[in-house]
Chains A and B, each alone.
Chain A
Amino acid sequence: MKALLVGTGPTLYFLARDFLEQGDDCTLVTPSEEEAVSLAANLSATVLHGDGTDPLLLERAGARRADVVVAILPADHDNLATCQVAQRRFGVARTVSLVNDPDHLQVFRRLGVTATVSSTQVLADLLRGQAGLRDLACFAPVEDGRAAILNLTLQEGFAAVGRVLDEFPLPEGASVACILRGAEVIIPRGRERMRAGDQLLVLAVRERIEEAVRTLRSGS
């Protein structure tokens, strides 16, 4: 697969590294000359420096032959422009845009972007719900943040500690997908007993994230 990545920052670097490790052909476009030099030194990828929304530069970067274009520039309007130029002018089948304003998740799709990714939506919901982030090591939004996978470490005194999974009243729309216990990775079937120190990977729809975390912590 040929991927064209347009953006800045660590996300661009790690995304490119991931594509390359999968054996994909990867070209990068970044607006900063300094960053372009550093990326070229650290990755075995073609790196161009310039305006990644400019049709002429995207053509030079090989947009015509790209299977996917990913836009992770800081501004939403630039990401939209990159995706639309790629799709409309160069016929790129799949375009993916990072989105800051959650309102743009749907809007960009209506404007032809294949997929939109927001890292703010789930975080905003969690903060608004005051679920607290203390025991949450990380979470990953799924489908634009309509669901999320979150990593919760069970502390001594949590309601879930000592309880058997399928007897524990997790809300509808939430389930424990995996238990990480020391070096062990347990895919639970329901009869497992949860212990303090366990890391739970919880899969939940957006509306149930807060309730799921609260229930695991303090009961209902």
Chain B
Amino acid sequence: MTPPVVGKGATSPAVEPPPAVRRGSPRTAMIVGCGRLGARLASSLGAAGSGVIAVDRSEAALRRLGADFGGFAVHGDATQPSVLRRAGIERCDAVLAVTENDNVNLMVAQVARVVFRTPRVLVRVFDPAREEIFEEFGIEAISPTLLAEREFLREVLQGPVARPVEP
């Protein structure tokens, strides 16, 4: 499945290799927001061989990482540049901003790009209307809303022809 990607510099490769063998997998990735998505990403990227730094302002959220998580868990507010620096953002080659709050994600992503010059920054944005905010900074946005919309439409428009339910 190719996620719909919006924003400048975003490309959708025709064939997506499985994460574990993908050559471009980051050496060190920072994941901001350790909710369901963040925790899964942390675990998958760790399994793919990346060093992972997970940041969340809630200690309870960091416990989602589980016992087999081999990276760093940092408790702090990632909207503060000083917290990002202490967490080690300067040695990360990718930052994934996936908190539940669009504005937090967009701000962390921009700070990562503009202040810390992180090479690759991906951000989750629920509201597709906010994309103008960041497109000039070379941030790649993934919208769960657009993603779901595309899947639903694909199923509805190209899926099996509907049949009446048998009595």
Chain A residues within 8 Å of B, Cβ to Cβ:
53-56, 75-78, 80-81, 84-85, 88-89, 101, 103-104, 107, 110-111
Contacts and interface: CB of A to CB of B under 8 A. Distances in A.
A110 to B, nearest CB: 6
B163 to A, nearest CB: 39
A81 B104 CA distance: 9
A76 B79 contact: yes
A89 B81 CA distance: 26
Residue of B101, B102, B104, B107 most packed against chain A (CB within 10 A): B107
Determine the main DSSP class of A at the interface with B. Answer: helix
B103 A53 contact: yes
Contact of B80 (A85, A89, A101, A111): A101
A56 B129 contact: yes
Given A78-B103, A101-B82, 7 more contacts: A77-B107, A81-B102, A81-B130, A81-B133, A85-B130, A85-B133, A110-B114
Nearest to B127: A54
B118 interface: no
Interface string B71-111: 00000000111100000000000000000011110110011
B127 A80 contact: no
A88 B133 contact: yes
14 contacts: A54-B129, A77-B103, A77-B104, A80-B106, A81-B102, A81-B106, A84-B106, A85-B130, A101-B80, A101-B81, A101-B82, A103-B80, A107-B111, A110-B115
Chain B interface size band reads: 20 to 34
Nearest to A89: B132
Interface of B: 79-82, 101-104, 106-107, 110-111, 114-115, 127, 129-130, 132-133, 136
Most buried by A among B110, B115, B136: B110
Nearest to B78: A77
A77 B79 contact: yes
Contacts of A75: 79, 103
B104 to A, nearest CB: 5
B110 A104 contact: no
